[in-house]
Amino acid sequence: LCCPVLCSGIPDPAYRDYLIKEEMSRQMGGKVPLTDAEMQLNAQLQKMKRQEMGGSQFPPAMHFFQAKPLIERSAVYSFIQRMPKGAALHVHDFAMVDTAWLVKNVTYRPHCYVCFTDDQSVRFLFSLQVPKSIPHCSAWTLLQTLRAKMVNCTDLDDSFIRNLTLFTDHPEEAYPSQDVVWKRFEQAFLVVWGLVTYAPVFKDYFYEGLKQFRADHVIYLDLRALLPETYELDGKVNDRSWTMRAYQEVAQQFITDYPDFLGARIIFTVHRYVCSAVRITEAVKEAMRLQKEFPETMAGFDLVGREDAGRTLWYFREALALPKDLGDNLPYFFHAGETNWQGTDVDQNMLDALLFNTSRIGHGFALTRHPLVKELSRKMGVAVEVCPISNQVLKLVSDLRNHPASELMNDGHPLVISSDDPAIFGANGLSFDFYEAFMGLGGLRSDIRMLKELAWNSILYSSLSSQLKDKAMDMWTKQWDKFVEESLSYQN
Amino acid sequence: LCCPVLCSGIPDPAYRDYLIKEEMSRQMGGKVPLTDAEMQLNAQLQKMKRQEMGGSQFPPAMHFFQAKPLIERSAVYSFIQRMPKGAALHVHDFAMVDTAWLVKNVTYRPHCYVCFTDDQSVRFLFSLQVPKSIPHCSAWTLLQTLRAKMVNCTDLDDSFIRNLTLFTDHPEEAYPSQDVVWKRFEQAFLVVWGLVTYAPVFKDYFYEGLKQFRADHVIYLDLRALLPETYELDGKVNDRSWTMRAYQEVAQQFITDYPDFLGARIIFTVHRYVCSAVRITEAVKEAMRLQKEFPETMAGFDLVGREDAGRTLWYFREALALPKDLGDNLPYFFHAGETNWQGTDVDQNMLDALLFNTSRIGHGFALTRHPLVKELSRKMGVAVEVCPISNQVLKLVSDLRNHPASELMNDGHPLVISSDDPAIFGANGLSFDFYEAFMGLGGLRSDIRMLKELAWNSILYSSLSSQLKDKAMDMWTKQWDKFVEESLSYQN
Ligand SMILES: [Zn+2]
Ligand SMILES: [Zn+2]
């Protein structure tokens, strides 16, 4: 690339075309070859895209809560929904399943108790007897009894759903700051906690989660999981190995029921808000132990929670060095760079994640602000897990056209699109985030080749062994070819 | 730069330090040497900065209209205000002067008529007799007569100020979309038009503008100017050469009055909303003519108006090729990339500006989305004129920590900070934009060296001849040294 030498007043149109093409070839998907059928389908897709980008309201420029009904009516969204998207690599354990399922199915099960907290939230617990009261909460009431007294349970159920998600018609008023939205976000996990850590529900929830991702045309998940102890109706507590085994068994059962699905692996996550590094040392040790006990299911380790409010990776450096010191290889999948603050200690996390040889970077929202770290991650082949809706709802960015991953896409930086906590954001699977990425981050020119590369990337950068990656690619390719064929015959 | 080879579990702290330092040295200001006195002052500045970044409200994350009172109380702002900032390279002719001056001084002059439009706006005109009515406007009233009937003119004057600026306490409600805010923005220019094109006011306005920029410790302006015809009280109309001559004479008078000021040059601007390219051809010819008539004052040519709503540079390629075709050298200073839309024809403007050998890029908000164009502009040494407050008020970005120029700064891309239309945004001079850039775009680590490089850049990338650049650097250096000395003795 050198400065243009112009031979007339008008810049040489051939040189201009060359630069434009060169720019497009650098873009995500820019080097992906298409079959004739794919090109035909692409033409249809681009026509829909141009139409929707010319409309009076552009969903990626709006808050997702307000954009959602528009997206659901979008032809591009319907295309993306039906499209095989590969793997979901950044999803959290208790935000996989539509909250309506939790309320309509789980809370209607017998022995489900509820209490109402002082701050307008709720807690649930399954129990044979009335559970012991907890601070700042009303007495426990059996939901079955409560509902029996009501003529109509819709209001109650709706209030539960409101507690389980952040979804609201007026997000700007409800969540004026990152502090407020994170508080509500973390509270939603407290609400869901008593439901999903009940052992039978735990398994059903995961099965239902896989079902919903499969329905969204996803074939595999790297699931970030807290691996909590679970409880039985009689109060008996199951340990972490039970939880891992439950994931393994449910995934196995699901594959047996649906052979077009590949499975799930677990990234063990612990909270970064801890008082002492000792807790992280223990967690890393536990991760190494689980890796030995469940080598096929255990994918690696990560820290979760609001990055700005927690300890840095460097603070935990001794704990994180442990596997290497012991000659172990524990893959890391660090959340890093989920911040607007620049130059803080937390803002150092992306570099430290790379120095700790992270396999991927969760979010990496701040990556473009760090050109050197960006180069390093590209050279190391570390993909960024971009979660557009999460970043918008948690107030890192408002107009998704300004999402920094737009630049990463245009520069061919390795990345995947994921949904983080779809249930809490009122989304599901991957399609809403794919829509935002395709329309908002990719701009008018990104086309089916970008979508194809995103699906490829999701397999390439997954935690799967190379053998299973091959298998995943085979599965995806079959589904993709079928999708292309059916879409064309449907259109014609 | 290569992937790190780690010799123990903890990444080598020396290598980590090296990477962090390398990153900092790439940042704007990272290679600027400091004297002992400057280092001392820097320590004070960084202390203030850390304090303000730890506060409960962070102005760059807020809308400027709401942040302004906080900024005015900020110690960092006061530092920046007193600091010699060099040149203002992106400011428009009729948005230089505090609107209060227009209302309190100009509209109180004799023969000033006002009419009130159907859409709650106003128009002004100086005239000996009652002017002819204009459509969608009340009859013209002599302001002197109107005010004489009032007990208190504050409400009327305040309503004029509201019409002349976008400033409001609730910007999100007042300006829900780019369409709305641009409509009001362009209307503000219609309000000011009748005042500032009155020949005597035209000169006074420019003199007052220079005064206000000088008071903000700016020594030079590259002013983008529409060069309108002006009118006299008797209806006589002065042509464009009169306007250029007025700029030249007023600047000369100002330098005589204030020898610590260097002057101003003019970038002739025309609207990009034109029906035919012929109008642009005429404007380019006019620019070449003015360049010959006023070689010292005429700096170059640019197109203005909302980029998304106007024609592209490529559409005007024949007109823009004219100077080169005729063997002339008309420097271009194109607005380009002031858009959130990606992949549109308008989004191509930055590349085309470079292909037309632009001297600088106005805004370049979309530049980071175009890695190849970014490389090209860096190689060509083309500075981006970053106007943070303008971009926020005109709704390209809400949280200024997400402004893409943050990345450009961290990557050492050539850029300057300017204020675009300070009067309309309720700002003045450069200091508010410098504050946003220093605090919001630069992050915690950017320090006095960044501010110094910004000042240097403003001279280096100005349209001045190399001889005048030397003179400007001398002037600035003297003022800077004095500023450093006085700030230190003031602090101690
Ligand atoms: Zn996450
Ligand atoms: Zn401008």
What tens digit of pLDDT does each residue of A43-70 get?
999 999 999 998 889 999 999 999 999 9
- For residues A287 and A298, is the Cβ–Cβ distance under 8 A? yes
What's the pLDDT score for residue A3? 42
Looking at residue A491, its pLDDT comes to 62
Indicate yes or no: CB of A444 within 8 angstroms of CB of B343. yes
Nearest to A302 by CA among A325, A275, A331, A327: A331
Reply yes or no on whether A407 is catalytic: no
Q: At what angle do helices A466-491 and A448-460 cross, to 10 degrees?
A: 160
Q: How far apart are CA B476 and CA B453, in angstroms?
A: 12
The verdict on a CB contact (< 8 Å) between A321 and B8 is: yes
pLDDT at res. B491: 62
Q: How far is the CA of B263 from the centre of ligand 2 (A)?
A: 20
Distance in angstroms between the alpha carbons of the first and the last residue of chain A: 43
At residue A273 the predicted structure's pLDDT band, cuts being 50, 70 and 90, is confident
Residue range A458-473: mean pLDDT, rounded: 98
Contacts of B301 in chain A (CB under 8 A): none
The per-residue DSSP string of B178-207 comes to HHHHHHHHHHHHHHHHHHHTBHHHHHHHHH
Residue A3: list chain B partners with CB under 8 A.
376, 379-380
What is the distance in angstroms between the Cα of B331 and the nearest Cα belonging to chain A?
13
State the helix-helix crossing angle for A371-379 and B13-26, rounded to 10 degrees. 130
Return d(Cα A251, Cα A264) in angstroms, integer.
Answer: 6
Does B363 qualify as catalytic in the annotation?
yes
Give A15→chain B minimum CA distance, Å: 9
Query: In a 3-state reduction of DSSP, which class is residue B124?
Result: strand
What are the chain B neighbours of A340 within 8 Å (beta carbons)? 61, 399, 401-402
Q: Given pLDDT bands bounded at 50, 70 and 90, which one contains residue A277?
A: confident
Contact B15 A406 (CB under 8 A): no
Residue A396: name the closest of A416, A368, A376, A374 by CA: A368
The amino acid sitting at B52 is E
pLDDT grade for B489, boundaries at 50, 70 and 90: confident
ipTM of the complex: 0.93
Which of A343, A396, A446 lies at the smallest CB-CB distance from B445? A343
Identify the pLDDT of residue A8. Answer: 75
Compare CB distances from B410 to A322, A371, A380 and report the shortest one's residue: A371
| Distance, CA of A120 to CA of A137 (rounded, Å) | 10
- The catalytic residue among B38, B338, B436, B453 is B338
**pLDDT tens, position by position, B73-97:** 999 999 999 999 999 999 999 999 9
**Banded pLDDT at A219 (limits 50, 70, 90):** very high
Q: Give me the residue from A8, A397, A398 closest to B321, CB to CB.
A: A8
Average pLDDT over residues B38-56: 95
pLDDT in tens, B248-280: 999 999 999 999 999 999 999 999 987 788 999
Quick one: chain A helix, strand, coil %, rounded to 5?
Answer: 50, 15, 35
Q: Nearest residue on chain A to B323, judged by CA atoms?
A: A9
Q: Decide if pLDDT at A4 tops 70.
A: no
Find the length of chain A: 492
A69-121 pLDDT, tens per residue?
999 999 999 999 999 999 999 999 999 999 999 999 999 999 999 999 999 99
**Which residues lie near ion ligand 1 (Cβ < 5 Å)?**
A 420
Enumerate the β-bridge partners of residue A218. Answer: A86
Give the Cα separation of B5 and B21 in Å (integer): 18
User: What pLDDT does residue B492 have?
Assistant: 59
At B141-173, the pLDDT tens digits run 999 999 999 999 999 999 999 999 999 999 999
Instruction: Please compute the mean of the pLDDT values over residues B290-306 and round it to a whole number.
Output: 97
**Catalytic-labelled residue, pool A38, A208, A307, A338:** A338
Half-sphere exposure of B10 (CA within 13 A, CB side): 10
| Tokens at B56, concatenated | 């409960």
| pLDDT for the residue A489 | 86
Decide if pLDDT at B1 tops 50.
no
- Mean pLDDT (chain B) is 95
Q: Which of B90, B35, B111 is nearest to B362 (CA)?
A: B90
Question: Which residue shows structure tokens 């255990």?
Answer: A298
pTM here is 0.95
- Average predicted confidence (pLDDT) for chain A: 95
* Burial degree of B15 (CB within 10 A; 0-12, 13-18, 19+): middle
A308 alpha carbon – ligand 1 mean position (Å)? 14
| A9 pLDDT higher than 90 | no
Contacts of B442 in chain A (CB under 8 A): 342-343
Q: Is B155 helix (H, G, I), strand (E, B) or coil?
A: helix
How far is the centre of ligand 1, averaged over its atoms, from the C-alpha of B184 (Å)?
A: 41
Measured distance CA(A102)–CA(A193) in Å, rounded: 11
Judged by CB atoms closer than 8 Å, whether chains meet at A352 and B11 is answered as yes
Rounded average pLDDT over A206-229: 98
Beta bridge partners of A416: A385
Q: With an 8 Å Cβ cutoff, are B9 and A340 in contact?
A: no
Which residues have CB under 8 Å from A5's CB, separation 6+?
none
Distance, in Å, from the CA atom of A41 to the CA atom of A48, rounded to the nearest integer, reads 11
Question: What Rg, from alpha-carbon coordinates, does chain B have?
Answer: 23
What separation in angstroms does the CA of A94 have from each of A165, A186, A208, A247?
A: 12, 12, 11, 13
- Confidence grade of residue B6 (pLDDT, cut at 50, 70, 90): very low
For the segment B86-110, the average pLDDT, to the nearest whole number, is 97
Give me the pLDDT at residue B9, please. Answer: 86
Which residues from chain B sit within 8 angstroms of residue A368, using beta carbons?
A: 368, 407
- Is residue B2 predicted with pLDDT exceeding 80? no
